[in-house]
Chains A and B, each alone.
Chain A
Amino acid sequence: MLNKQLELLVALQDLDVMILDAEEVKQLGFKVAGKDKLEKAQQELTLKIDKPLLFNYEKLKKRYKRAIVPVKDDVCLGCFMRVPTQLITRGRSDQQVINCEGCGRILYWYE
């Protein structure tokens, strides 16, 4: 089962992206109202995330376009560095939030 804090961070990133996309999606003809609801959900989510993690997420978001990146075939898809074996074991167990040793991004085990 996915670490609760990582689950919240992923939900936050997905919301951030959705807010960014809202205008373009509306132009395609989709109903997009109540953006304020999403911003409220975004605020509520941030309250549930541990402060140091949230700070780390916000810092990474400013530096990169996305703070959380998937790991595929043991490679960080943010910087394409191979993730060290000991981190793979910890990351796959989903017990804690792991940052890439190469780029610092938060890692999400896709597989």
Chain B
Amino acid sequence: MESKELVQYFDQNLFIANLKAKTKKKALEELAKLFVDNKIIRDMKIVMEMLNQRETLGSTGIGKGVAIPHGRTTAALNVCIAFGKTTNGVEFDSVDKKPVNLIFMVLAPPQDENNRYLPVLGKLVEIVHDRKNRDKLKKIERFEQLVQIIEGTA
């Protein structure tokens, strides 16, 4: 998947530059609520159930201050990504045990016709593995800046 293609799954309304949450649970809720508030998802409880189950499989905190909580849910019609940033960091039970500053929440329907879910996840992982991208992401305040980093034009 090309970086430019990944951009289409982000949404200005699914962006928080300063997450209020101080815990993993609250951070997941804060981002999941964006989907509900923007009528992308109707039932918050269903999404939280799925996300919590996913975390029992293993934390989606992939280290280096990044978490990518993800999953397919019947409650989603399309692949979509919410992004949240926190300056202080949130304990996420990450692989490196370090707090998380950057959270990408990826939701997808059980079947997406074009099968974009796994390529989207893979591309996100690739982007955040680059230290320069992580450093830039930690400084962003606006959605446009996020888009530029994802596109590779920042």
Contact = CB atoms under 8 A, between A and B. Distances in A.
Interface of A: 2, 7, 10-11, 13-15, 17-18, 21-22, 24-25, 28-35, 37-38, 41, 65-66, 68-70, 72, 77, 108-111
Contact of A34 (B46, B58, B111): B58
B56 A38 contact: yes
A32 B58 contact: yes
B43 interface: yes
B57 A34 contact: yes
A2 B102 CA distance: 32
B116 to A, nearest CB: 13
Interface residues of B, number: 31
Interface stretch (B16-24, B26-34, B73-81, B130-138): B73-81
User: Which 3 residue pairs across A and B have the least CB separation, nearest first?
Assistant: A31-B58, A14-B50, A10-B74
A17 B46 CA distance: 14
29 contacts: A2-B43, A11-B46, A14-B49, A14-B73, A15-B50, A17-B72, A18-B72, A21-B72, A24-B118, A28-B121, A29-B125, A30-B60, A30-B62, A30-B68, A30-B125, A31-B57, A31-B60, A31-B95, A33-B57, A34-B57, A35-B57, A37-B56, A37-B57, A38-B56, A41-B56, A70-B77, A70-B109, A108-B74, A111-B39
